[in-house]
Structure 1
Amino acid sequence: MTERPSTPAPQPRLRPGPIAIAFATALALAAVWQWSNVLLMGFGAILIAIALRAGARAMHRYAGIGLKPGVLLSGLAAVLVVAGIVAWAGPSISGQFRQLIGSLPDAWKQIEDWLGQSSIGQFLERRIEDAQANGGGGEGGDLPTVFSYLTGTLTTVFGGVANLVLLITVAIFLALDAPMYRAGALRLVPPSYRARAGQIADELARALARWMGGQALDMAVVALVTGVGLWLLGVPLALVLGLIAGLTNIIPVVGPFMSGIPAVLFALTQGFDLAIYVALLFVLVQQAEGNLLMPLIQRYAADLPPALTVLAILAFGSLFGFAGIVLATPLLLVSIILVKRIYVEDVLDDWQGD
C-alpha cells in the first residue's frame, strides 16, 4: 500500500507588529520629505497624463481613434498649437517682453523719486541705510560674484529644461498605459479595500480633469479680457501683459499680484494716470473673474473653500517652494477628497452625501 505524500502544513503569514508599523510609517514619511521634489514632479506628470487621456477619449468617442494613438495625437496637437502660437506671436511677445524688462528700472526709478518726496519713503530709506550700515557688505560687482551669478543662472535654466523634458516624458508613459499603472497602485492596497480604493482613484481623476478644464477656461478668459482691456487703454505691451495675467491666474490670490505689479510698473513709465487705469482694470477683471466666472466654472469643476485655498498656498508654498504654490489648488482638491472619502465616510462612518 502506497502512502500518500503528506502535504506541508500551511506556513503562518508574517504580520508586522506595532513597532514595525511605526518604523515603516516613519521611514515612509522621511522618504516623502526627502523626495518631495520628485513626488511633486510625479503629481504634475499625472495632471498632464489626465489631460492627454481626456483628449484621447474625446478622439475615441468622436473619431473612433484608439486610446494609445489618441494620447500621442493629443500630445502632438498640443505641441503644434504651442509651436503655432510661438511662430505667430513669438517675435512680438519676445520683443514686448524685452521691452517690459527694460522698462522696469525706469519704473522703479520713478517710484523711488516719488517715495523720496514723501515722509513714508524717507522713513523707509533711513531704515534701509541703517540696516546696510549695521550689516556691512562689500562690493557686489567683482568677477567671482558675477561668474557665480551667471553659473547659477545657467544651471537653473538647464535644470528647468531637463525637468520639463522628464515631466512630459513621464506624463506620456503614464497616459499610454494608465490602466496598468492604476492596477499596480491598487495592488499595494489590501484586497478587501481595493474596490473602494479604485472608486476613490477614479473620483480623483475625474475631479482633477474637471479642475484642469475649468482652470484652462478661466486662464484663457482672463488673458483675453486683460489683453483687450490693456489694448483699449493704449498700453503698448498689451499682448505679453495679458498672457502673463492668464498664466499666473493658475495661482489663486497670489497670481493677480504677480501679473498686476509688472503691468502697473510698466504703465507708470507712460504716465501716472495710465498706471491708475491699469490697476483699476486688473481689479475689475479679478472681481469679475472671482464673482461671475469662477462660480460658473466651479459648478462644473470643483468648489474649493477660499479660506482653505489660501491656507493651502501658504502651507504647500512653505514646504515645497514655488512648485508647491503652483500645485497648491490641485493638491488641496486631492486632500479634500481623500479626507472626505477615507476619514469622514470610511473611518467615521458619516455618509451624508455631497
Structure 2
Amino acid sequence: MTKKLWFQVGVGILLAILIIKYFMEISFIFAPVIIIIKAIILPLLLGGVLYYMTEPIQRFLESRNIPRWGSILIIVAGLLIVLAIFISIIGPHVTKQVNNLVENAPTLSKKFDDMRSMLGNLEEYLPPSLQGSIDSATDTIQAMAVNFGKWIVQFLQSFFQAIFLLVLVPFFFIFMLKDHEKFAPIIYDLFSGERREWVKKTLSDIDNVLRSYIQGQFLISTILAALIFIGYLILGLEYALLLAIFALFMNLIPFIGPWIAVAPALIIAFMDKPKLVIGVAIVTLVAQQIDSNLITPNVMGKSLDIHPLTVITIILAAGNIAGFVGIIVGVPVYAVGKVIVRNIYDQRRKIKHAATKDVQG
C-alpha cells in the first residue's frame, strides 16, 4: 500500500499541513526574514517583468555580435528614452485629464446619484420578482466595487512602497540581463544523473511559460489599449486617455480585466450622453473580437493551456488572498505550478515504464 500513488500523496499533504502548522507557531523566529522578503519581492517582480519584456531585444542585439554589456546599455538607454518621451508627450495630457476629473468630480457624483434615483423610481413599476433580482444585482455590484476599491488601495500602497525601493528594480533588472544564463545551472548542478536532467527540463519549461505569459500579456494589453483609445477618441468620450491607460493595466488580468476596464467608461458615457453607451459597447465588442480572434491566438497561442473557467477561479481566489497583486500574479503562479506537477507526473510515468520493461526483460 505504501507504494500506491494516492497513499504517497496523502502522506505528503499531511506532512505539508504539519510543517505549516509548526511553522506558524514559531513564525516569530522568521519575522526578520519575512520582512526582508516583503521588502525585495516587489522590486524583484518588477525587475523580472522588465527582463522578460526586453530579453528578445537583448537576444536580437547579441545575434548581431553586440557584446553583453553593449546590449544592456542599449536596452537601458532605450527604456530611459521611452520613459522620457512618455512623460514629455503623454504626461501633460494625463495631468490635464486628471485635473478635469477632479474638478468635475462633484458634478459626476451628482449625475451618478440622479441616475441611481431614476433607477430606483423605475423599480416601483416592476414585478416584485424582478425588483428582487435588481436589488440582488445591485448588492453584488456594490460588493464588487468595495472589493475592487480595496484592491486599488492595496495596489497604490504597494506602488508607493516600490517608489522607496525603486533603486532595487534596475539592480535586479540589470543583474538578470547580465547573468540570466547562470541562474538555472546553480540549481540543477546540485543534482546528478536523471534527476539533474529532470530539474533542468523543469526550469526550462518554467522559463518558457513565464516568458510566453509576460511578453504575450503585455503585448496584448498594449494593442487593446491602443484600439480602445482610438475608439474613444472617435466617439469623443471624455477622459479617453485616462480610460485607455486604465484599460492597459486591467487587460493584464485575463478574461475579467477587459470587463473591469469598460465599467468606468460606460458610467462616464452614460453621465455625459447616454447614447455614447452604445458607442462604448461597440468599441469594446470590436476590440474584444479582434483580440479573441486575431491577437491572442497569434501572440499567446496554446502556451499556457489553461481553461477560461480555471483562470476566472484562480483570479477570484488570488484576489481574496492577496488583493490586487494576487490578481496579477495568480495565473502565472498557477501556470508554473502546473508545469512542475506535469513534469513530476511525466517523470513518474517514465520511471514506472522503465521498471515495467526491466521486469518483462
* Class of the TM-score when normalised by the shorter of the 2 chains: 0.7 to 0.9
3-state secondary structure, aligned to 2:301: helix
Greater relative CO (CA pairs within 8 A, separation 6+): 2
Report the AA paired with residue 53 of structure 1.
E
- Corresponding residue number in structure 2 for 1:94: 95
Stretch of structure 1 that moved more, 189-198 or 153-162: 153-162
8 Å CA contact 1:219–1:250 kept in 2: the answer is yes
- Corresponding residue number in structure 2 for 1:47: 49
User: Cα 1:242–1:74, aligned 2, differ >3 Å: closer, same or farther?
Assistant: same
Q: CA deviation at 1:55?
A: 2.1
3-state secondary structure, aligned to 1:272: coil
1:255 and 2:263 are equivalent in the alignment:
no
Cα distance in 2 for partners of 1:22, 1:283 equals 46
Stretch of structure 1 that moved more, 291-300 or 320-329: 291-300
Map 1:179-328; keep pairs closer than 5 Å: 179-187=181-189, 189=191, 192-299=194-301, 301-328=303-330
After superposition, what is the alpha-carbon deviation per residue over 1:148-190, rounded to whole angstroms, capped at 9, x for unaligned? Answer: xxxx999766423124442342232222122333222335556
Q: What stretches of structure 1 of length at least 5 have no aligned partner?
A: 1-17, 128-151
Cα distance in 1 for partners of 2:293, 2:155 equals 40
3-state secondary structure, aligned to 1:208: helix
Map 1:62-211; keep pairs closer than 5 Å: 63-117=64-118, 118-119=120-121, 158-187=160-189, 189=191, 192-211=194-213
The normalised TM-score by structure 2 is: 0.71
After superposition, what is the alpha-carbon deviation per residue over 1:9-30, rounded to whole angstroms, capped at 9, x for unaligned? Answer: xxxxxxxxx9xx8799547897
Kindly indicate which of the two structures has a greater share of residues assigned to helix.
Answer: 2
After superposition, what is the alpha-carbon deviation per residue over 1:111-132, rounded to whole angstroms, capped at 9, x for unaligned? Answer: 21122232477999xx9xxxxx
Q: CA deviation at 1:337?
A: 1.4
Cα distance in 2 for partners of 1:101, 1:286 equals 30
After superposition, what is the alpha-carbon deviation per residue over 1:246-304, rounded to whole angstroms, capped at 9, x for unaligned? Answer: 23211123322332122223223421111342234223322432344222323275443
Report the AA paired with residue 299 of structure 1.
G
Stretch of structure 1 that moved more, 81-90 or 280-289: 280-289
User: Cα 1:217–1:22, aligned 2, differ >3 Å: closer, same or farther?
Assistant: closer
8 Å CA contact 2:58–2:75 kept in 1: the answer is yes
8 Å CA contact 2:212–2:300 kept in 1: the answer is no
Q: What stretches of structure 2 of length at least 5 have no aligned partner?
A: 1-11, 125-130, 136-153, 353-361
Report the AA paired with residue 167 of structure 1.
V
Report the AA paired with residue 228 of structure 1.
I
Report the AA paired with residue 245 of structure 1.
A
8 Å CA contact 1:104–1:266 kept in 2: the answer is no
8 Å CA contact 2:43–2:172 kept in 1: the answer is no
Cα distance in 2 for partners of 1:121, 1:175 equals 60
What CA RMSD, in Å, does the superposition of the two structures yield over aligned residues?
3.7
Stretch of structure 1 that moved more, 309-318 or 95-104: 95-104
Identity among equivalent positions (%) equals 22
- Corresponding residue number in structure 2 for 1:57: 59
User: Cα 1:109–1:286, aligned 2, differ >3 Å: closer, same or farther?
Assistant: farther
8 Å CA contact 1:227–1:238 kept in 2: the answer is yes
3-state secondary structure, aligned to 2:275: helix
Report the AA paired with residue 209 of structure 2.
A
Aligned length: 304
Q: CA deviation at 1:101?
A: 4.3
Q: CA deviation at 1:40?
A: 6.0
